[in-house]
Chains A and B, each alone.
Chain A
């Protein structure tokens, strides 16, 4: 415990002083979870809350990384210090992953930018904890904005992107892309749309489809009370067309959030979500421990023999868990 505290403290201090290697290390510690990650979260939290968190999501191949690379090129020119967390799926079978987002960003990103790749399964505690942990670290050491790229499939990925201050949803021309985004639940979380690959046929149609869906959500009252309607930015990420317009839209959205008090709301919601995720993780670990001991196994046996209802067993175990905790015999 103290050893973890010690390493976390020195690495955090060095990262705070601008040491990029230390920051790389810090991100690994946070990703791995456990006591070191907890210590880092304690250290970083008071320093965080300044960066604008921007989520970029959409289907694989839509051009999210290329577009992010374009932002990384233009932001340092405007005296921003951007960081990217690029999340890619791991293989469910082996847990391995090919993280290929950097390849689209490296040539574009300026010296001051920091890019980190993260696999969806490469950490304990799940994406819902690893991502906010990493974003907090970037924020605490002074990066702003912090961009998080996720593939917009899967509920967790959409949740992560949707928990940003500003969420950008990238679609491409072609049959049904906007419709797919709708199905994946991406439309509800979008603050800004990008129709990327606008050099391809069908870009105008994609834009029109999105406008139609936005009109519909206006009718059903999804547009926010202050009358914000997500803008649609046309882009060609390969040559950088539209990157300026995208950044302008992001900045406008930020002003809107700040003017209406929604920024504070979003951050409150995000922090709450993080506390819930952590509680969830702790509860699951405790549940696993209590199920594995003698009493747990016995109760499970009785459930199997149909002598006890699953609900009763759970209630008994919950009771044990809570008394164990109070008398300080819990499994940390």
Chain B
């Protein structure tokens, strides 16, 4: 239904560099997506507001501070509470043993620092497609 994917990119929490997330923003733009770039130090509430107002199809979070086990599930929960049935994709340094827990918490995809541009784009496309197949709206 949605012709052009709109994705919110943000970094949750306090950690400070945005090199990785800027690279991802460019990759997704070059794949034809509209990236709503929120940058550093975002809160889950702020991201929910942006997702509502921007009618986003997905939320991409960059994580580098080991907070992923609390922050990523909190993001999923905040979106569901706002009745937003859109996938959350996270990227960053995520230990293998945490991936399963994240998936169980509703994270749609986890991308490591070694993911290629193609893998990043595919992960987003597939997550959006899966959600709109299975989702209510």
Residues of A bordering B, CB below 8 Å: 20-21, 23-25, 27-28, 32, 90-91, 94-100, 102-103, 106, 114-117, 119, 122
Contact = CB atoms under 8 A, between A and B. Distances in A.
Nearest to B2: A28
A24 B35 contact: no
B14 interface: no
Contacts of B118: none
Contacts of B25: 98
Given A96-B29, A117-B36, A119-B34, A21 B54 contact: no
A25 B53 CA distance: 8
Given A21-B83, A32-B3, A106-B50, A94 B29 contact: yes
B55 A99 contact: no
Interface residues of B, number: 27
Secondary structure at chain B's binding surface: helix, strand, loop or mixed?
A: mixed
A96 B34 contact: yes
Given A94-B30, A96-B34, A106-B50, 4 more contacts: A24-B53, A91-B29, A95-B4, A96-B32
Contact of B53 (A94, A95, A98, A116): A116
Interface string B30-49: 11111111110000001001
Contacts of B4: 95, 122
Interface in B1-20: 2-4
Contact of B55 (A24, A94, A119): A24
A102 B84 contact: no
A91 B50 contact: no
Given A98-B26, A106-B46, A122 B37 contact: no
A282 B133 CA distance: 33
Given A100-B37, A102-B38, A117-B36, A24 B30 contact: no
Quick one: which of A91, A102, A103 has the most chain B CB within 10 A? A102
B94 interface: no
A84 B38 CA distance: 16
B54 A97 contact: no
Contact of B34 (A97, A103, A114): A97
B28 interface: yes
Quick one: which of B29, B32, B36, B50 has the most chain A CB within 10 A? B36
Contacts of B83: 21
